[in-house]
Amino acid sequence: MKKSKKTRNRPLNINDITIIDDSKLKKAITAAALGNAMEWFDFGVYGFLAYVLGQVFFPSVSPSVQMVAALATFSVPFLIRPLGGLVFGMLGDKFGRQKVLSITIVIMALSTFCIGLIPSYATIGIWAPILLLLAKLAQGFSVGGEYSGAAIFVAEYSPDRKRGFMGSWLDFGSIAGFLLGAGLVVLLSSLLGDEIFHNWGWRIPFFLALPLGFIGLYLRHALEETPAFQQHVDNLSKNQPENSTEQQPSVSLKEIFTKYWKSLSICVGLVIVTNVTYYMLLTYMPSYLSHNLHYSTDHGVLIIIAIMVGMLFVQPVIGLLSDKIGRKPFIVGGSICLFIFAYPAFLMITSDIIALIFIGLLILAVILNCFIGVMASILPAIFPTNVRYSALAISFNISVLIAGITPTAVAWLVEESGNLYMPAFYLMVVAIIGIVTGLKMKETANKPLRGATPAASDRSEAKEILSEHFDNIEQKVEDIEQQIDDLQKQRQNLIDQHPKLD
């Protein structure tokens, strides 16, 4: 049942603006960021343990094949992420964000924990790699709904004027989780020694996922549904007949792709430029430094870890600035910088001078911060509430699947061409996608989420928003009146040129 025109067009008043409880907002950010940190904790652990896992689960092949097999098992879950995004996205739009995020963190924690329980190939034979693959597929399925849901959760809980800063903590959690996982592996390996670490010590990081998951579940379960989604449900209830038992209507995939194709294309472009840069710097670069530039693995890892620590400090600053000057400048500016500086950065990285290598990586890291610092605040804002989870999860995970081939594709290009600057050219092509997408996207900073009423930190801010809202309407009315006046003059000018028109 549609609202009447009179209801739709009534003036906005102070009670229509949602006041966000500050304590609930902090809990929402903590709960969302912890799940994201756990996802990347597994990425860090698995990536740094690939050589050990290859020996444990694929012992009958050569060391190089062991590494490839372990990394292939790591990559397979990317294929199932879009399915997880589809399932959890639909559930999130129908039953709420809080319920779905509680489910995803449980699946993620249990599947990661189970990896630590799997016996070795020497104990159960072929079942060992099969069980490893099943655990990774379960992870991929849950991750398909995790980031999208967490970004939406934070965005729908945040005041309009602070959404950029609040959203930036989500990817702060990603970087922190990766660092924690990688650092824990290095620490345990040093403390336990190679023999004990290879025998059973490698299982410890996976076991830690269970208590982390319980903490995340507690935090998420204790939270209320997001204000934006609750408002959406309340509006649906008001507009249904009193005796209606109909549940919230679902939107078909066909309708999502036909009605919101522009928003979907913006989302795909943003995620591709962000994640290609992400995987290039944090996944491919360590092997590029060791395999192609012949630096020791430890040196390459330490440089990347140092870069990531620096990114932690820059991340919230980008989010805060985006609330002041907008998100578009960071997407467009970051993409332009990526196009201009990708090649010079790789000139420095290949210079064989440690200081220049660090500066080259730092340039790429700051550019990456420009993207991830605003991503969690942009993506939820480009879709309306009723399809936000479904549309974002589907488009995000398809894009990640495309971006996920970056390390493999770039490694193949370098090997085939013998050109060490192929990664730079690859980034320059992606930068063009970022520039076009950034120019096409609408600014979302300091505006309500699509389909939602404004949200403020307190009542005084709500009054300011209301005043700005009325000022904006007055300006639009003045603009329309000016257009009408110009059209009247054009009309009269045409009439004067015609002998039979008065």
Residues 6+ apart with CB under 8 A from 302: none
**In a shared domain, residues 187 and 272:** yes
**In a shared domain, residues 382 and 478:** no
Identify whether 291 is part of a domain. yes
Identify whether 239 is part of a domain. no
Range of the structural domain that residue 481 is part of: 463-502
For residues 414 and 59, the model is more confident at 414
The CATH number of whichever domain residue 380 belongs to comes to 1.20.1250.20
Identify whether 248 is part of a domain. no
**In a shared domain, residues 366 and 494:** no
CB 31 within 8 A of CB 146: no
**In a shared domain, residues 274 and 408:** yes
Identify whether 381 is part of a domain. yes
Closest CA to 84 of 36, 37, 140: 140
How confident is the model at residue 244, as a pLDDT?
A: 47
- Total-model pTM: 0.83
| pLDDT(281) > 50 | yes
Residue with tokens 């589809």: 86
CB 168 within 8 A of CB 311: no
**In a shared domain, residues 37 and 127:** yes
How confident is the model at residue 5, as a pLDDT?
A: 44
| pLDDT(445) > 70 | yes
Identify whether 141 is part of a domain. yes
Cα of 234 vs its chain's centroid, Å: 28
**In a shared domain, residues 398 and 491:** no
**In a shared domain, residues 292 and 327:** yes
Q: How many CB atoms lie within 10 A of CB 317?
A: 13
DSSP 155-174: HHHS-GGGHHHHHHHHHHHH
**In a shared domain, residues 438 and 362:** yes
CB 224 within 8 A of CB 31: no
**In a shared domain, residues 395 and 471:** no
How confident is the model at residue 7, as a pLDDT?
A: 44
**In a shared domain, residues 139 and 262:** yes
Our count of domains for the chain comes to 2
CB 314 within 8 A of CB 373: yes
For residues 53 and 488, the model is more confident at 488
Question: Tens digit of pLDDT for each residue in 205-256?
Answer: 889 888 888 888 888 887 788 888 887 777 776 665 555 445 555 667 788 8
**Long-range pairs of 114-120 with CB within 8 A, sequence gap ≥ 24:** 114/138, 115/206, 116/203, 116/204, 116/205, 116/206, 116/207, 117/203, 118/57, 120/56, 120/57, 120/59
**In a shared domain, residues 352 and 470:** no
| pLDDT(162) > 80 | yes
* pLDDT > 70 fraction of the chain, expressed in percent and rounded: 90
How confident is the model at residue 33, as a pLDDT?
A: 86
